């Protein structure tokens, strides 16, 4: 085993990743850690760098499909209190990267701060949402982000703001190793009104997701104003399946894994859909979900 002197209490070997992913399948992480303080996180990163161990960050796992038997890396999960705290400072909500997006939204609603309501129903963490610039057709988290605190690959803490922060459709300029915290500048509004808007959006969003969405992943990004869903439907792929992996009937851009399904079934179906859509429409769909 690699040397994690002083951090043995937070590092585990061969940790199964299935419980952390939305398809509840996949391999193990060679190393896995849940640091409890920022100092532990920095020490861990420095030790990984010194030993040539690559580092991957896992948020809520809603945009990751673990396809490898062994993810040969240190997988870091920011689940402890030090990485999930949220507080309010004037019109800004300051949320740690490991906090759940739903908690950020409920804090904003409770405090009468409007802006993030359209993100209601999107699963995952604040860091995952910042990294992927999570959002809907009209709005995304980047529009409300004033600053982001990150940890660089050398273990240095830095703040990205102004023109160091760029957001595009499902992309951000945040390529540093760890997203530690986001600062969201919102608009003051009656808290009852913000809560109502959040609830309405939540209902709309859930109506567009597969029922029991905890067993599904969103496969592809929309393409130049055309939804991935309509491209998949036009290619005649509604109801397509491979083994126990199938496309959701109502939302064919979501892949579901039924009982007994394997990650191989999921990857095969994803590749099949991508190839068929390209063959039928000439559009090379870009994957939204990240494959490890």
Ligand X SMILES: Cc1cc2nc3c(=O)[nH]c(=O)nc-3n(C[C@H](O)[C@H](O)[C@H](O)COP(=O)(O)OP(=O)(O)OC[C@H]3O[C@@H](n4cnc5c(N)ncnc54)[C@H](O)[C@@H]3O)c2cc1C
Q: How many whole angstroms separate alpha carbon 269 and alpha carbon 245?
A: 7
Shortest gap between Cβ of 97 and ligand X (angstroms)? 4
Q: Are 209 and 251 in contact (CB under 8 A)?
A: yes
User: One symbol per residue from 51 to 90: x for binding ligand X (CB under 6 A), - otherwise; what is it?
Assistant: -----xxxxxxxxx-------------x------------
Exactly one of 10, 47, 71, 122 binds ligand X (CB under 6 A); which one?
122
Interface of this chain with ligand X, residues 142 to 201, rule: CB under 6 A:
170, 178-179
According to DSSP, residue 226 is labeled B
Rule CB under 6 A: is residue 131 a binding residue for ligand X? yes
Q: Among residue numbers 133 through 152, which ones bind ligand X (CB under 6 A)?
A: 134-136
Query: Which run of H or E residues covers position 193?
Result: helix 191-208
Query: What DSSP letter does each residue of 2-47 carry, written as one string?
Result: ---TT-TTTEEEEEE-GGGSTTS---EEEEEE--SSHHHHHHHHHH
Give me the half-sphere count of Cα atoms (radius 13 Å) on the Cβ side of residue 102. 8
* DSSP, res 241: E
Phi, psi of 272 (to 5 degrees): -65, -45
Can residue 266 be called a binding residue for ligand X (CB under 6 A)? no
* Residue 209 binds ligand X, judged by CB under 6 A: yes
Range in contact with ligand X (rule: CB under 6 A) among 7-15, 41-49, 214-222, 263-271: 214-222
| Catalytically annotated residues | 170
Residues 19-58 that bind ligand X (CB under 6 A): 22, 56-58
* Residue 97 sits in the site that holds ligand X (CB under 6 A): yes
Name the residues that contact ligand X, by CB under 6 A.
22, 56-64, 78, 97, 122-125, 127-129, 131-132, 134-136, 170, 178-179, 209, 213, 216-218, 290
């Amino acid at each position: 085993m690699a040397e994690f002197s002083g951090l043995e209490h937070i590092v585990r070997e061969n940790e199964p990743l299935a419980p952390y992913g939305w398809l509840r399948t996949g391999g193990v992480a060679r190393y896995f850690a849940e640091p409890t303080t920022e100092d532990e996180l920095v020490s861990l990163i420095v030790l990984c760098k010194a030993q040539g161990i690559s580092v991957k960050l896992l948020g809520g796992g809603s945009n990751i499909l673990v396809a490898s038997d062994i993810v040969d890396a240190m997988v870091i999960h920011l689940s402890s209190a030090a990485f999930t705290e949220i507080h309010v400072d004037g019109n800004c909500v300051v949320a740690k990267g490991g906090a759940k997006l739903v908690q950020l939204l409920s804090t904003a609603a409770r405090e009468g701060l409007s802006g993030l309501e359209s993100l209601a129903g999107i699963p995952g963490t604040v860091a995952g949402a910042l990294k992927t610039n999570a959002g809907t057709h009209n709005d995304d988290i980047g529009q409300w982000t004033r600053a982001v605190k990150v940890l660089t690959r050398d273990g240095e803490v830095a703040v990205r703001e102004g023109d160091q922060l760029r957001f595009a459709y499902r992309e951000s300029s945040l390529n540093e190793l760890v997203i530690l915290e986001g600062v969201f500048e919102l608009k003051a509004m009656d808290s009852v009104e913000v809560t109502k808007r959040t609830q309405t959006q939540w209902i709309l969003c859930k109506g567009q997701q597969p029922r029991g969405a905890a067993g599904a992943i969103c496969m592809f990004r929309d393409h130049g104003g055309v939804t991935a869903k309509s491209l998949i439907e036009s290619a005649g792929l509604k109801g397509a399946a491979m083994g126990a992996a199938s496309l959701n009937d109502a939302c064919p851009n979501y892949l579901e894994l039924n009982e007994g399904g394997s990650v191989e079934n999921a990857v095969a179906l994803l590749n099949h859909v991508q190839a068929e859509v390209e063959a039928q429409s000439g559009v090379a769909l870009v994957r939204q979900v990240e494959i490890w």
